[in-house]
Chains A and B, each alone.
Chain A
């Protein structure tokens, strides 16, 4: 059954590094699992935990947040805030009854097209293993 299951994955990608990294995967024709749907944000630090909670409520099976490597954020420290918020996010997910394996925060630079593809594939596999997500029990 798990082999037929195609997870629905939402990816929040910062404009300056990760979105550009995904563009590079395209320009280099590096194919990857098609499950991800990308939402462009200016910076990983723009991502409100609420967006992630909302995604699960609406039926997402996994959520990725991708930003610049530490030290490379276009806005100097946005990704550090994202990282801190992500730690808090884990607790919120517990409360919502969402497995931690369904969220991922990673750094992908504008030159890492191949790495982008790899990270997406790995995450897609991981979520596929976990199976379809149940809608969170609590509303938010």
Chain B
């Protein structure tokens, strides 16, 4: 039998001015289950809490209603108060008679009557409350980082330095990401490799970090503290345990004509390769699509003939070439995941007016980075891909695939204005006779030293900035003609160039959506991860225990990517500093007798908390993983068989509120 105590707070005069608190308390004495009622000036004060605690003991109360302010304000306070008196904290409910009553109604009679009804509803609810207990679950203090760009590297190092184990999974043969491809970085023009490669080496040698390059995440199961992850380790055909990275195989490999991904097609690589000289790990993979020996083996299986090569196998001094090596699936457990899968650049071949990506001398900013780089395909000589000649006039186009609804990219890519200015400056440093022109829409250079940098490029480095979009590029007599409009002067312009550089915008990394779905986190229409809260929880995803860093959640420069990575690392360290995770007991529960196995609940649950369980008779029913369930109740409302209920907000509790109000 419920023995309910009702406590009506005056909140000084905040409630008492419009509500007759003593009268209300008196009225509640007649409500079903109420055995005690009192009013008091300040219930949240220590004296008020004592009043409640004493009454619980004196009147053997097993349910409490505190009629005062919003539960969003003081629910924790009063739960704690009743718990101190030995009552389960979830047997206390609050009736909001301040925000929802005394503060919004001036008429004392109306407000008093309303307060009484509000309490009547809550009394009916609390009579049906059940004791609930928060559960504790252990956690695996190991972090998985997905993506080995600067964001992933920074996050991995920070967490590893805090003393926790980290596994970093990178899908290409090396870590470093896009930053490794850059020549210099704005606005300070530090050499990108010089600041990045020491970090890469530090990571690979860190005792707390396991590095898995040439690997991908296949599946993620479980929940915060306890994720089970399948990782695909792609076959490298090279045994990295014995390989010393001497370089024999990639120097001798006769298959030399594979377009280099790292050089964005500006250079060539061999089939057995490391992407660039400072790659980490500094050991090769043999790319099976191009390796002659692998192709030979495959042809043999199909009964075809193809010349065998095996050059590397013969020459490798450590006998590390292993044609039998197969893809491998590793299953591992982690407590948290940081997603840092970065970005790709916009594919400009959709732009017919820029030649559908077919003019060899129309290149992208990333390609120019490779051409400018001293260890790039041209050893730092900026030359035209078509004829290897030095350009004299170079035109830059900003916002290619950014701020353009026509190609489904309405957003600003944030970094292109800056990297274009950087390129214009650096070309001048390479060759003072080069003329540079920049077509732009607006200059977006918000950042410390950024605006000054762009100014310097225009004023000191004589770059001509023209405001307006380019309407057409076409080749003529070995040059490119760029037609556009100068929107400041309001007249058409035409520029002749030897080389055109497109500042292609930032898009989600290829495969991003698949990855997000595999992990079970939410993403926007462009494939960038959605933050849990864009302002207050910017490095958390909507799945507990999964964090984000870098361009995975949208365009960012290096400083922002690194800051985010360190922020995500702190979140992970905070999580790992606990020995148990306490789960909210207000979760949904299945009555497996009533469950018909329709799994409508599974369909609606935004958090993948619904699991399937096979009963002894073979019937498959739903089970709620209480550590994952966030207690939204979507599944409960979706369940047609009334097999589901939400603890703390059960059908019975809510309907009792309706009835108590309307039957009075």
Contacts and interface: CB of A to CB of B under 8 A. Distances in A.
Given A26-B70, A42-B631, A78-B606, A54 B637 contact: no
A52 B606 CA distance: 24
A10 B104 contact: no
B117 interface: yes
A34 interface: yes
A80 B636 CA distance: 15
A29 interface: yes
Contact of A45 (B542, B586, B634, B659): B634
Nearest to B636: A46
Interface stretch (B83-91, B158-166, B242-250, B647-655): B647-655
Contact of A38 (B100, B522, B630): B100
A60 B542 CA distance: 37
Contact of B121 (A31, A34, A39, A45): A39
B662 interface: yes
Contacts of A27: 99, 103
A48 B636 contact: yes
Interface residues of A, number: 42
Contacts, number: 124
A129 B564 CA distance: 55
Contact of A23 (B99, B107, B661): B99
B634 A43 contact: yes
A81 B639 CA distance: 13
B118 interface: yes
A58 B662 contact: yes
Contacts of B661: 8, 10, 37, 58
B481 interface: no
Nearest to B522: A76
A31 B104 contact: yes
Contact of B632 (A50, A59, A75): A75
B97 to A, nearest CB: 10
A30 B99 CA distance: 10
Contacts of B110: 34
B72 interface: yes
A101 to B, nearest CB: 19
Contact of B662 (A19, A59, A74, A77): A59
A22 interface: yes
Nearest to B111: A34
Nearest to B14: A26
A55 interface: yes
Given A46-B632, A54-B655, A55-B658, A15 B114 contact: no
Given A26-B104, A29-B103, A40 B71 contact: yes
B123 to A, nearest CB: 13
A137 to B, nearest CB: 18
Interface in A1-54: 8, 10, 15, 19-20, 22-23, 25-27, 29-32, 34, 37-43, 45-51, 54
Interface in B605-664: 606-607, 630-634, 636-638, 646, 649, 651, 654-655, 657-659, 661-663
Contacts of A134: none
A37 B70 CA distance: 14
Contacts of A74: 632
A81 B637 contact: yes
Interface string B576-611: 000000000010000000000000000010110000
Which residue, of A26, A31, A50, has the highest number of chain B Cβ atoms within 10 A? A26
Nearest to B70: A23
B436 interface: no
Contacts of B72: 15, 19-20, 23
B106 interface: yes
A43 B657 contact: no
A8 B662 CA distance: 8
A40 B661 CA distance: 14
Contact of A81 (B111, B638, B649): B638
A27 B638 CA distance: 35
A97 to B, nearest CB: 18
B584 to A, nearest CB: 11
B105 interface: yes
A26 B659 CA distance: 26
Contacts of B282: none
B98 interface: yes
Contacts of B657: 39
A91 interface: no
Given A23-B72, A29-B104, A51-B654, A37 B633 contact: no
A1 B631 CA distance: 45
A100 interface: no
A26 B100 contact: yes
Nearest to A8: B662
A46 B649 contact: yes
A51 B100 contact: no
B606 A76 contact: yes
B99 A77 contact: no
Contacts of A85: 637
B632 A48 contact: no
Given A58-B663, A75-B634, A41 B654 contact: yes
Interface in B238-282: none
A131 to B, nearest CB: 17
Given A38-B96, A75-B634, A46 B606 contact: no
A31 B637 contact: no
Contacts of B604: 45, 81
B446 to A, nearest CB: 26
A20 B96 CA distance: 12
B637 A46 contact: yes
Given A31-B105, A43-B632, 16 more contacts: A23-B96, A23-B99, A26-B70, A26-B100, A26-B103, A37-B661, A38-B96, A41-B649, A42-B631, A51-B654, A55-B658, A55-B662, A60-B662, A76-B542, A78-B633, A81-B634
24 contacts: A20-B72, A23-B99, A26-B70, A26-B100, A27-B99, A29-B103, A31-B106, A34-B107, A34-B110, A34-B114, A37-B114, A40-B96, A41-B654, A42-B633, A43-B633, A45-B634, A46-B633, A46-B634, A46-B637, A51-B651, A54-B659, A55-B658, A74-B632, A76-B522
